[in-house]
Amino acid sequence: MNQKKIIALVLATSFAAAGIPALHAKPLGYKVPDDTATFKPGANVDVVRNNCTACHSVDYVQTQPRGPKFKKDFWQAEVTKMVKVYGAPIDDADAGKIADYLAENY
């Protein structure tokens, strides 16, 4: 018996012993809503679009703080956080381009 079958058997037996009936899940379909926002045109917008929207919407970027103190250092820290804390697969070469674009446009 392979490992998957053993795990399934153990789980089914455990549920039965606990008085929990086996559940048969049906596939759930859903439609992702259309984007409601787009990135502003600018240098490296394609780099930003290709990297950032793999994990979150453009709306997320547009809701970040704005103003004079939220420029290059702020956006560089945000990009670094996305890579180091959240594991965003952003190449080092793209990280600087993303921070530059965001500082220039947001």
Write the pLDDT tens digit of every residue in 35-62: 778 999 999 999 999 999 999 999 999 8
Tell me the pTM: 0.66
What sign does the dihedral 50-39-103-77 (CA atoms) show? negative
Is the pLDDT confidence value at 106 over 80? yes
What is the CA 42 to chain-centroid distance, rounded?
23
User: Please, is 40 exposed, middle or buried when counting C-beta atoms within 10 Å of its C-beta (0-12, 13-18, 19+)?
Assistant: middle
Is 61 contained in some domain?
yes
Residue 75 token pair: 């956006």
What domain range includes position 61? 28-105
Question: Does residue 32 lie in a domain region?
Answer: yes
CATH code at position 47: 1.10.760.10
Report how many domains make up the chain: 1
> What would the DSSP string read from start to end of 41-88?
P-TTHHHHHHHHTTTS-HHHHHTS--STTSSHHHHHHHHHHHHHTT--
What is the Cα–Cα distance from 14 to 35, expressed in whole angstroms?
Answer: 44
**16-25, 68-77, 97-106: the lowest-pLDDT one:** 16-25
Note whether residue 70 is domain-resident. Answer: yes
Domain contains 51: yes
pLDDT in the model for residue 49: 95
